[in-house]
Structure 1
Amino acid sequence: MRFPRPAAGPLRQVARRLLLALLVLAVTVVIVYADRGGYHDNANGTVSFVDALYYSTVTLSTTGYGDIVPYSTGARLMNIFLITPLRVIFLIILVGTTLEVLTERTREQFRLNRWRSALYEHVVVVGFGTKGRAAAKTLMGRGVPQDRIVVVDPDPKVVQGAADAGFVGVVGDGTRNEVLLRAEVGRARQVVIAAQRDDTAVLVTLTARQLNKGAHIVASVREEENAPLLRQSGADAVITSSSAAGRLLGLSMLSPSAGRVMDDLITYGSGLDLIERPITKAEAGRAPRDLADLVVSVKRGHRLLDHDDPEAAPLQPTDRVIAIHRTGPQDTPAAQ
């Protein structure tokens, strides 16, 4: 698992600890040298700056040869109330790596348990390449919180990049049950499958559908001939990336303006958005053409009716409409 967190480089952490250790040593040297009259050196009876440095080093490291000792009351009190706490701080800094690893593991385990207990009705994105990133960006634009999107990818670098961007990431092969279980796919509301290979997409779809019978699964394939296989595997919607891109290219060649409009419609927040939303109480009983948004289709139960279909009017309270909506600063994400 990879959770979003600010990253600090290892060299920076080592340098910070080294500076703290040197600071503690410097403070100890100053204290000892300032009170050098209260110390006795068995070699010559006096304590020089080098002797103070030597005494501070062996004392903080708990070596303690005993050749330099505090004999005055003030020096001994200074050792009790200042040198000893500094020794403890110095030792904590030295073993800080071990302590940090243990603390980090405990913290990560706590975050994992809390995350799992609170995670439900989320979105799992399998494959965080170009398609997966674009899907996650669109979901966020439509109001899905970033912490409700879980990324699954076999590449640790990709997952770490997703975590650095603020997503929760799971490293592993999405075709394996244990990997999708770590992403809590059993409690997910939607699953987006953006694998690089069509055969991988089929296996991920089969695995996800086995673990979650009610999730809405949207999958992407490169070849049109593989789309029926994905639908049979349990995908609710299949997007053929190569055909979709080809159609948009052809449309842009024949009509550049129409191509720009289509790109605008499928790019959320760029002016015109193609949205699906429930109708409001005020819109119930009206005809699709009477709505403020330009209605393209009406979804009634499992049927999709054209805007000019006689059965589409009047609109029923349980209907949903697919409409072209102009975005603005006052707009909020449409209900899904």
Structure 2
Amino acid sequence: MKRELPPLSRRSKASPWRKLGLRALLALGLLVSAFLLLWIDRDGLRDNIDGAVSFADTLYFTMITVTTVGYGDIVPVTEKARLIDAFLLTPIRLFIWLIFLGTAFELLFKRVWERMRMARIQEGLEGHVVVAGFGKNGSTTAAHLLGSGLAAEKLVVIDCDEVACVAARELGAAVIQGDASRDELLEAVRIRAAQRMIISAGRDDTSILIALSARKLAPALHIAITIRNEDNEDIAGAAGASLVVNPVTVTAALLAEGMAPA
């Protein structure tokens, strides 16, 4: 039986709560407009219960008219009131229902569709770059890759931290939140089909463990890893890293080169 992979995610173009709020304000505005139309022409309405149309009756009739076809207890009796209902209230009713249906689609059906779309993207990943760890080094490297011409669709980020995952989505990368040393997550990002992997987990032991897991699954993968402790550089190489970078050593070498006499 095929194992279900952890889902990828990408940045949403707009906040769903912001869009929901805008739709609620639009629906409220349409309801207020419908109420004002009926209140101004309330003399064209007739209450079959007591004959008088009050503020509460108008508000009730507005909600009933907008949400249903009415119960017949309050009805338009003049030609003007019926024209208002036909040409003004009916479009408002339709717009409100479209807002409701659109919101349901946005909150329910679109999420399902997005999951299906990301699953297809996940299955089709090939020749991509996997960044494990989206801290300072990982995020800077990812931004440099994108600035150098790497398409955002070819960038996949794994990180345990929600804030880091949000930052990666903002760059347009596909993101999985979790432990990059787990085979399940590495398989989810199709590590065997990746072009290269960049590991910067923040801790040498974690980065080395990720390199071991990745090398086990993808023997030919080019793996670059950042190591903080010089003593762990040989261990990282033995763990399968193709390139070991120690930021402290690199910085020291650049500084020394810059101070060398001409």
**Normalization by structure 2: what TM-score?**
0.81
Please list every run of 5 or more consecutive structure 1 residues that lacks an aligned counterpart in the other structure.
259-336
Task: Name the SS for the 1:152 alignment partner.
Answer: strand
The AA in structure 1 aligned to 2:128 is: H
Return the alpha-carbon distance in structure 2 between the equivalents of residues 86 and 171 of structure 1: 43
> What's the counterpart of residue 7 of structure 1?
14
The AA in structure 2 aligned to 1:23 is: G
Matched, 1:235 2:248: no
Please give the residue correspondences for 1:100-249 in structure 2 after superposition, counting only pairs within 5 Å: 100-249=106-255
CA offset at residue 71 of structure 1? 4.4
Please list every run of 5 or more consecutive structure 2 residues that lacks an aligned counterpart in the other structure.
1-7
CA-based RMSD: 3.0
**Structure 1 residues 83 and 2, CA, compared in 2 at 3 Å: closer, same or farther?**
same
> What's the counterpart of residue 23 of structure 2?
17
Return the alpha-carbon distance in structure 1 between the equivalents of residues 95 and 144 of structure 2: 49
Return the alpha-carbon distance in structure 2 between the equivalents of residues 213 and 231 of structure 1: 14
Contact 1:123 1:188 in 2 (8 A): yes
Q: Which of 51, 59, 73 is the aligned partner of 1:53?
A: 59
Deviations 1:43-99 (CA, angstroms, capped at 9, x unpaired) = 542435664333102433449565422345775676566545534543554576543
Contact 1:33 1:52 in 2 (8 A): yes
Which protein is bigger by CA-based radius of gyration?
Answer: 1
Contact 2:125 2:189 in 1 (8 A): no
Return the alpha-carbon distance in structure 1 between the equivalents of residues 92 and 147 of structure 2: 52
The AA in structure 2 aligned to 1:21 is: A
228-237 or 40-49, which deviates more: 40-49
Contact 1:194 1:201 in 2 (8 A): yes
Return the alpha-carbon distance in structure 2 between the equivalents of residues 75 and 141 of structure 1: 62
The AA in structure 2 aligned to 1:112 is: M
> What's the counterpart of residue 3 of structure 2?
none
CA offset at residue 8 of structure 1? 2.5
Q: How many residues align?
A: 255
> What's the counterpart of residue 39 of structure 1?
45
The AA in structure 1 aligned to 2:210 is: V
Contact 2:131 2:197 in 1 (8 A): yes
The AA in structure 1 aligned to 2:63 is: T
Deviations 1:123-175 (CA, angstroms, capped at 9, x unpaired) = 10111111112222332344322321111111111111111122222111101
Return the alpha-carbon distance in structure 2 between the equivalents of residues 212 and 107 of structure 1: 31
Task: Name the SS for the 1:230 alignment partner.
Answer: helix
Task: Name the SS for the 1:125 alignment partner.
Answer: strand
The AA in structure 1 aligned to 2:154 is: R
CA offset at residue 193 of structure 1? 0.8
Deviations 1:166-185 (CA, angstroms, capped at 9, x unpaired) = 22221111011121222221
Return the alpha-carbon distance in structure 1 between the equivalents of residues 104 and 126 of structure 2: 35
Return the alpha-carbon distance in structure 2 between the equivalents of residues 106 and 234 of structure 1: 39
Return the alpha-carbon distance in structure 1 between the equivalents of residues 208 and 153 of structure 2: 27
Q: For CA contacts below 8 A with separation 6 or more, give which structure has more relative contact order.
A: 2
CA offset at residue 229 of structure 1? 1.8
Return the alpha-carbon distance in structure 1 between the equivalents of residues 33 and 165 of structure 2: 44
Task: Name the SS for the 2:219 alignment partner.
Answer: coil
211-220 or 13-22, which deviates more: 13-22
Return the alpha-carbon distance in structure 1 between the equivalents of residues 70 and 127 of structure 2: 61
Greater fraction strand: 1
